[in-house]
Amino acid sequence: MLEAIKWELAQEPSYLQGEKIETIYFGGGTPSLLSTEELLGIFDTISKHYELDDVKECTLEANPDDLNTKYIQSLKATPINRFSIGVQSFFDADLKYMNRAHNAQEADYAIKAAQDAGFEKLTIDLIYGTPGLSNLAWLENLAKVEALSIPHFSAYALTVEEGTALHHNINKKKQSPVDNEQSAQQLELLMQYAPSMGFEQYEISNFASKGQYALHNTNYWRGIPYLGIGPSAHSFDGRNRRSNIANNSLYLKAILNEKKALYDVEVLTDVQRLNEYLMTSLRTMWGCYLKKIEEDWGAQALAQIKKASQIFVEQKWLSLEREALLLTNEGKLFADHIASELFFEEN
């Protein structure tokens, strides 16, 4: 797999068409299983083929049970300067429900060990809406974030994917189903409590203390081109989206035996690009800039969006500030619905 990833990296320097690389992100699986030497091997390939002078953020997604003191210390020899730790919850009952391999004590240890090693940039994931997670317990999770001086966190409602063990157990009535009303209540509590913790909700699911926004995620929401490497990885060059084959065996066979990458390319229409901008920008604290819509898609598109958004402004789900449409806290509960109502249809 490592050899295939390095081969793919060596083929793709031209994909970003001169865009400056600001972030490197190891994610989409369990990259914390890689040794320091294996990570350095990938970085060596990257540095041979890409200009890295502008890189400001290099993130490693990590499971708490992978982050022991020795491993964290060894990572200081790599360009990694930020951890994304999949905590999910500081309660063992939640972690057991979600079939996580770590426990709450390991999550606490991983965070403190990273901080003790001098890694100031870190983020954790939290899940709300778990059956059995009371509103009080959810607030205790948030209080733990504050107590540990974590500068950034992401919070997501529990979703049950088909084909997972959790989905099977819920269908067999071995585990309780998700309560959507409970999830909505806990998102509202999160939005109420976060400001008192010193956090800005700069995207519906992402919260940062002052100046600690995730650069990688922010660039994604801004529509900045990116290159994805490895099975299932996605890339975007500004107009076209590319997705690598998801099957590990076929990915490896194509690259190692046939010296070719397998991927699908989706050429985005102007309407698709506009709809994506509406969907991603509305999720952020900066909102959907009306001037950008007029400049990129024309006055007719702007007029249609203004007309379609008026009902949500009257409902106080949207506000118009500084020539940008912004979701209100109440509107954030209906973000997908609002975006879909503003979408354009292909002619």
Q: What percent of the chain has pLDDT over 70?
A: 94
Whether residues 143 and 209 fall in one domain: yes
3-23 pLDDT, tens digit per residue, is: 999 999 999 999 988 889 999
In the predicted structure, residue 164 carries a pLDDT above the cut 90: no
Whether residues 35 and 182 fall in one domain: yes
Q: What is the pLDDT of residue 169?
A: 62
Burial 227-258, CB ≥16 within 10 A → b, else e: bbbbbebebbbeeeebebbeeeeebeebbeee
Whether residues 152 and 274 fall in one domain: no
Q: What is the pLDDT of residue 233?
A: 96
Q: What percent of the chain has pLDDT over 90?
A: 84
Instruction: Residue 77: give the domain boundaries.
Output: 20-221
247-261 pLDDT, tens digit per residue, is: 999 999 999 999 999
Q: Is residue 310 part of a domain?
A: yes
Whether residues 78 and 151 fall in one domain: yes
Instruction: Tell me if the pTM is above 0.85.
Output: yes
* Both structure tokens of 80: 């990694």
In the predicted structure, residue 168 carries a pLDDT above the cut 80: no
How do strand 263-267 and strand 200-203 relate by DSSP bridges? unpaired
In the predicted structure, residue 72 carries a pLDDT above the cut 90: yes
Q: Is residue 276 part of a domain?
A: yes
* Both structure tokens of 281: 């920008």
Burial 47-63, CB ≥16 within 10 A → b, else e: eeeeeeeebebbbbbbb
What are the backbone angles phi and psi of residue 327, rounded to the nearest 5°? -75, 135
CA pair distance 152, 123, nearest whole angstrom? 5
In the predicted structure, residue 25 carries a pLDDT above the cut 80: yes
Q: CATH no. for residue 89?
A: 3.30.750.200
Is there a contact between 216 and 243 (Cβ–Cβ < 8 Å)? no
Of 204, 221, 238, at which residue does a domain stop? Answer: 221
CA pair distance 54, 74, nearest whole angstrom? 24
